[in-house]
């Protein structure tokens, strides 16, 4: 099992991020569905946890056939998907124990916490799932590289300026002097118990997750003028399950 912790800072508050996250997921789901792939919501219902309180449970089927590299497509069926179960008790969420339609010994477990800081909280998870040290990676939405095919100049935080909030462009060292700022802490465990392929697959999955996190967070900021002022429970955000609990407003008054 390969465990990594990702920390992604955003020039938002955690309250704002919640709405931006919902909007981004909803927009992506719509775009992918138009291509014949995407996210199919199987179950979306309230859930009460004795520790974390009220939240939302979602079961989704994520279709991934076209996302696989050539070496993986050669050994997988044409229809390939992962069933993902997630629990949202924002600002804490769990995405765990996905069931893969082709690889029963494959699993991803993600714990996420959101805080209004620049990513300087240490040992935030206190997780008994971690054996020994794990790698901590800071992902910079402005200056870390993403795959060239996903690059859009209008979504580049180095050049984007929000008309509604006045935030951006993001300059070198922006995490140290930007306000507001929040951080998404993600503890990601990837396990693939197949001899001869374990290391390669686990490293590949982490690379995919890193790229997805970077691209999604870049877009959430670059689209801020689209979602600023929306509420978490607005129609644009319906159907997104574990990320779709009710409550809160979209942006602060400076929107």
Please report the pLDDT score of residue 125 as a whole number.
Answer: 86
Helix or strand holding residue 111 (H, E)? strand 106-115
Q: Is residue 246 part of a domain?
A: no
pLDDT score recorded for residue 70: 58
Is 42 part of any domain?
Answer: no
Residue 53 in any domain: the answer is no
Whether 59 is in a domain gets the answer no
Q: What is the 3-state secondary structure (H, E, C) of 43-103?
A: EEEEEEECCCEEEEEEEEEEECHHHCCHHHHCCCCCCCEEEEEEEEECCEEEEEEEEECCC
Placement of tokens 């989704």 in the chain: 60
Per-residue pLDDT of the chain (255 residues; tens, 9 = 90+): 999 999 999 999 999 999 999 898 888 767 665 555 556 778 889 999 998 899 989 887 766 555 555 555 554 445 456 677 889 999 999 987 544 555 567 888 999 999 999 999 988 887 655 555 788 999 999 999 999 999 999 999 999 999 999 999 999 999 999 999 999 999 999 988 888 889 998 999 899 899 989 999 999 999 999 999 887 665 444 433 333 333 344 565 455
200 lies in which domain range? 2-36+104-241
Indicate the pTM of the whole model: 0.82
- Report the pLDDT value the prediction gives residue 218, as an integer from 0 to 100: 97
**Is 76 part of any domain?**
no
Specify if 26 maps to a domain. yes
Q: Residue 28 is part of a domain; what is its CATH number?
A: 3.30.530.20
Structure tokens at 59: 């079961």
CA angle 212, 87, 10 (to 5 degrees): 40
Report the domain count for the chain: 1
Instruction: Give bridge partners of residue 154 from the DSSP assignment.
Output: none
Look at residue 60 and tell me if it is in a domain.
no
In three-state secondary structure terms, 171 is: coil
Entry field: residues in the chain: 255
Q: Is residue 213 part of a domain?
A: yes
């Amino acid at each position: 099992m390969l465990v990594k912790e990702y920390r992604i800072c955003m020039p938002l508050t955690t309250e704002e991020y919640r709405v931006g996250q919902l909007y981004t997921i909803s927009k992506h789901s719509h775009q992918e569905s138009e291509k014949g792939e995407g996210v199919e919501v199987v179950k979306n219902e309230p859930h009460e946890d004795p520790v974390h309180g009220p939240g939302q449970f979602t079961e989704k089927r994520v279709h991934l056939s076209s996302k696989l590299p050539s070496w993986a497509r050669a050994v997988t069926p044409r229809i390939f998907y992962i069933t993902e179960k997630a629990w949202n008790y924002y600002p804490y969420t769990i995405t765990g124990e996905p069931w893969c339609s082709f690889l029963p010994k494959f699993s991803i477990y993600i714990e996420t916490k959101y805080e209004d800081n620049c990513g300087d909280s240490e040992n935030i998870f206190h997780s008994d799932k971690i054996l020994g040290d794990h790698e901590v990676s800071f992902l910079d939405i402005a200056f870390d590289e993403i795959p060239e095919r996903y690059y859009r100049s209008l979504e580049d935080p180095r050049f984007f300026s929000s008309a509604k909030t006045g935030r951006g462009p993001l300059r070198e060292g922006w995490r140290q002097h930007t306000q507001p700022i929040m951080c998404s802490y993600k503890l990601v465990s990837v396990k693939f118990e197949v001899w001869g392929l374990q290391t390669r697959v686990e490293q590949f999955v982490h690379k995919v997750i890193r790229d997805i996190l970077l691209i999604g967070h870049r877009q959430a900021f670059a689209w801020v003028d689209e979602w600023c002022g929306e509420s978490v429970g607005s129609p644009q955000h319906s159907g997104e399950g574990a990320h779709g609990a009710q409550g809160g407003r979209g942006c602060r008054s400076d929107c």
